[in-house]
Amino acid sequence: MRILTLLLLMLTIGLTPSSALPAHHNTQAEYGSFGSPTINVEGRIVRVIWGNPHIAIEIETTGGEVPAGEKWRIESHPIRIMEEYGFDRSDFAAGDSVKLIAWKHIRNVPMTWPRAIQINDGPMRSNLRFTDMIDIANGVFEDLNIVPAGNLNGSQPGRAGPDAVRKLSEMGLLDDDGLMIWPPPR
């Protein structure tokens, strides 16, 4: 009986789906850690590539901390994750102006990963919940005037790093299961 139990346990472990598998591609290896410095990028959308494994948006820069008139590629999450963050394909169109708070690629190629995105005159919206968590833990989030990620509440905070997790816990922003509570309880 014990052997049967053990075999069933091993089979169950072997069949556990891929939630624990590493991400298909490690953005932090290319853009730095979630808490690393960002730059401001302004531009006009030329083309939207709304597809997996990553959506991409081609822009011609118009300002910010990069020279105007350059051609840059914004890359971001897969479609499903973008939607969980609250973005939709219809939010982006050629000709729209965009402002980004973004990470520059470590190899100095014209690629960027947005920490937050503003389209035309809309709000600056978060594109990375773990950085929201880090900024909340450091007490600077509200000053950034960024709309938090749509999936921030209820998220596992582990990828924000142990320091952020500890601070969030001390701030009473983690529930009994260790998941993020946002907005903060009054």
CA distance 38 to 65: 10
Whose structure tokens read 């009994």?
176
Interface positions, 97-126, toward another protein (CB under 8 A): 105-107, 109-111
Q: Which is closer to another protein, CB of 54 or CB of 159?
A: 54
Residues that contact another protein, how many (by CB under 8 A): 24
Candidate ranges 32-40, 66-74, 83-91, 171-179; the one touching another protein (CB under 8 A): 66-74
Cβ 44 vs Cβ 97: under 8 Å: yes
Selected binder of another protein within 64, 73, 161, 181 (CB under 8 A)? 73
Spatial separation of the C-alpha atoms in residues 118 and 56, rounded to whole Å: 15
Q: Note whether 44 binds another protein by CB under 8 A.
A: no
- Token pair, residue 185, equals 């309880």
Select the residue interacting with another protein from 78, 86, 150, 161 (CB under 8 A).
Answer: 78
Shortest Cβ 67–another protein spacing (Å): 14
Pick 100 or 111: Cβ nearer another protein: 111
Name residues whose C-beta falls within 8 Å of residue 42's C-beta, 6 or more positions apart in sequence.
Answer: 61, 62, 63, 64, 97, 98, 99, 100
What's the Rg (C-alpha) of the chain? 19
Q: Which residues bind another protein (CB under 8 A)?
A: 18, 21, 24-26, 29-30, 46-47, 51-54, 58, 71-73, 78, 105-107, 109-111
